Amino acid sequence: MPKKIIISILCFGGFSIVSISQKLPEIIKQTYTDSLNRYYHNMHLPAYFFIGTSADNNPSQQSQSGNQVKNTQLPFYFKTEGRNIIHLYENEKNKEIVADYVVYVDGKAPKSNLTINAASKFTTKDKVYFGKGATIKIAVKDDISGVDKTYISLNGEDFKQWLGEIVLNEEGDYFLKYFSCDRVGNIEKVKTINLSIDFTPPKSRLKVIGLADGNIISAKTKLQLVAEENLLSIGKTYYKIDNGTRLASADGNIPITQLQDGNHHLEYFTEDNTNGRESVQFFDFYLDKNSPIVITDVLGDRFIVNEKIYFSGRTKLKFTAVDNKSGVEDIFYSLDGKAFTKYSDPFYMPTKAGVYAIRYYAFDKMGNQGAGNPNKKIEEYKHNGGVIYVDLTGPTLKNEFIGHYYKKDGQTYISSKTLIKFSGQDPESGLQKITFRFDSLLDETTYSLPFSLPKENYGKVDFYGYDNVNNRNVGRLNLQIDNDAPEINYSFNLSSTGNKNGVDIYPSGVAINLSTSDSKTGVSFSMYSINGEPEKLLKSTISGFEKNKLYKIKIRSVDHLANKAIVEIVFKTF
């Protein structure tokens, strides 16, 4: 029975990237099978041979040399370009070929040829010039696997796939890069070409060199006219400022230092030797020669009393600079002779008494330096700190209760009649005011006189003390209103035997059990009185009553906020 042997070739592709300091597309070294089922293999890729009993089972990898089968992974590299034939022998002795496998090996990159067709062409020592209708065409040839793609880059842009001829309709210098790759990933070396498209008459270009912001320039800025050359030689360039005389520019530079601060109008044009003169060009500009003005301001809390000035820790010095045209670039300041520092935000004033010299100046966007005085480049701000006091702490606060109050388990109990009093003192700038608010409401109320809580459900009172430079301290009271009197409970140990004229009748041996309670502050004391006699401390049991006598017992219980309850017990004995 004939043997069926299936051999497969495995190759591993890899990325090939051409690096010439520009990003190129990633092109993979690979294999390729054309429409006629011909297999093309990249010469730079390894090949591996496998054997199996069917086309879809997992083949066993074999060595490429030796008399014995070895499961080793040794790569095989083709050495010959073009058509390669792999012969399969049934045995080593008779060399009878049972199968041939054709592999097309390709190790050479395609060859690209770029041509440019135009109506005119002019070559100088350094560059080739083309006229209108310049068209780029690229012809590519590959001898084995065939051309896959061609890529082109114009003026340093990313490479894009070449899809057909390109017409260069815009003037300027062009730097072209191009290359091609074949179907198995061989990459051609990048080719370059420099060219220029030029088909207009001469033209002048104004260069603004130095500080400029739009059409605003400084006295140090240079205006330079440059004649943009075409294929023909350049003649002369002329200019005129405002209503002055038209002058020829020898080196292209236009003097402006003699001009005054303000708006100006420049006209210029160029003539060539044959094609005439370009249209007159215009440039309107503003020459900024004035320096910025710097304004100082002290920000924050200040309070003067008894010829003393109090500053808080929040007091700062602020610089504001204004410029008539280009705008302020930077402000610099120096404190007490130290190095100048770039100003960004208001900074805190010195906290020690003494005379402090703060020097400052500003630059505008055109480099003009000053602080407002035309005769001085740097202004000085003298700050006399001899009578300055820095107050960094808020007032000391105190609260009092006018009337009954009671503290229990970290809670303060008051009645609706109890008044709350606040006070405070500040030994530095002095107390300005005290405010308060209930249960963290948003609005603060200025304190003036002692007050009571307006509602029983107000549990917290926050109060604030402000000094005259707005330093603040905070206090909080956790309060609960108690307007409820204690409860008095009593009971007879014997039952009534009757009632006469609305009065219950009990045996003389009866006893009265008594108790009092208060749910919030608790009972402070309880008293009782029998038939108008002086009060005594309440006992839990009252007994020892005489026979045939009318009794009126008055019981009074008071809690810690002086809320009181009174109960009267009336009965008769027999």
Statement: residue 151 has pLDDT above 80: yes
Give the number of other Cβ atoms within 10 Å of residue 126's Cβ.
Answer: 7
pTM tops 0.85: no
**Which position has the higher pLDDT, 191 or 296?**
191
Query: Which candidate, 143, 137, 141, places its Cα nearest to that of 162?
Result: 137
Average confidence (pLDDT) over 431-446: 87
Q: Which residues contact 57 (CB under 8 A, 6 or more apart)?
A: none
Statement: residue 68 has pLDDT above 60: no
**What digits encode the pLDDT tens for the residues 375-434?**
555 555 444 343 446 677 889 999 999 999 999 888 899 998 999 999 999 988 889 999
User: Residue 438's pLDDT is what?
Assistant: 84
**Which position has the higher pLDDT, 19 or 244?**
244
Domains of the chain and any CATH numbers = 6-106 (no CATH), 111-197 (2.60.40.10), 203-288 (2.60.40.10), 293-391 (2.60.40.10), 396-481 (2.60.40), 487-573 (2.60.40.10)
User: Residue 41's pLDDT is what?
Assistant: 95
User: Residue 15's pLDDT is what?
Assistant: 37
**Residue 33 phi/psi, 5° resolution?**
-120, 120
Q: How far apart are CA 465 and CA 478, in angstroms?
A: 18
Q: Beta strand pairing status for 97-106 and 39-42?
A: parallel
Task: Supply the mean pLDDT for the chain.
Answer: 83
452 contacts 483 by C-beta, under 8 angstroms:
no
Average confidence (pLDDT) over 151-155: 94
Q: How confident is the model at residue 66 (pLDDT cuts 50, 70, 90)?
A: very low
**Which position has the higher pLDDT, 77 or 455?**
77
Average confidence (pLDDT) over 566-570: 96
Looking at the DSSP bridge assignments, the partners of residue 209 are 222
**What digits encode the pLDDT tens for the residues 98-147?**
788 899 999 999 999 999 988 767 776 777 777 778 899 999 999 999 99
Average confidence (pLDDT) over 217-221: 90
Strand, helix or coil at 329?
A: strand
Which of 60-74, 310-324, 501-515 tops mean pLDDT? 501-515
Which of 96-100, 318-322, 439-443 tops mean pLDDT? 318-322
User: Residue 377's pLDDT is what?
Assistant: 56
Which of 173-177, 248-252, 355-359 tops mean pLDDT? 173-177
Statement: residue 519 has pLDDT above 70: yes
Average confidence (pLDDT) over 329-333: 88
Average confidence (pLDDT) over 288-294: 87
264 contacts 287 by C-beta, under 8 angstroms:
yes
**What digits encode the pLDDT tens for the residues 37-50?**
999 999 999 988 77
User: Residue 103's pLDDT is what?
Assistant: 95
Q: Which residues contact 277 (CB under 8 A, 6 or more apart)?
A: 269, 270, 271
Query: Beta strands of 487-535 (E only): which ranges?
Result: 487-492, 498-500, 503-506, 512-517, 523-530
Quick one: residue 275, left, alpha or beta (phi over 0 = left, psi -120 to 50 = alpha)?
Answer: alpha
User: Residue 237's pLDDT is what?
Assistant: 87
**Which position has the higher pLDDT, 89 or 226?**
226
Q: How far apart are CA 565 and CA 199, in angstroms?
A: 115
Statement: residue 278 has pLDDT above 90: no
**What digits encode the pLDDT tens for the residues 1-24?**
333 333 444 444 443 334 345 778
User: Residue 125's pLDDT is what?
Assistant: 72
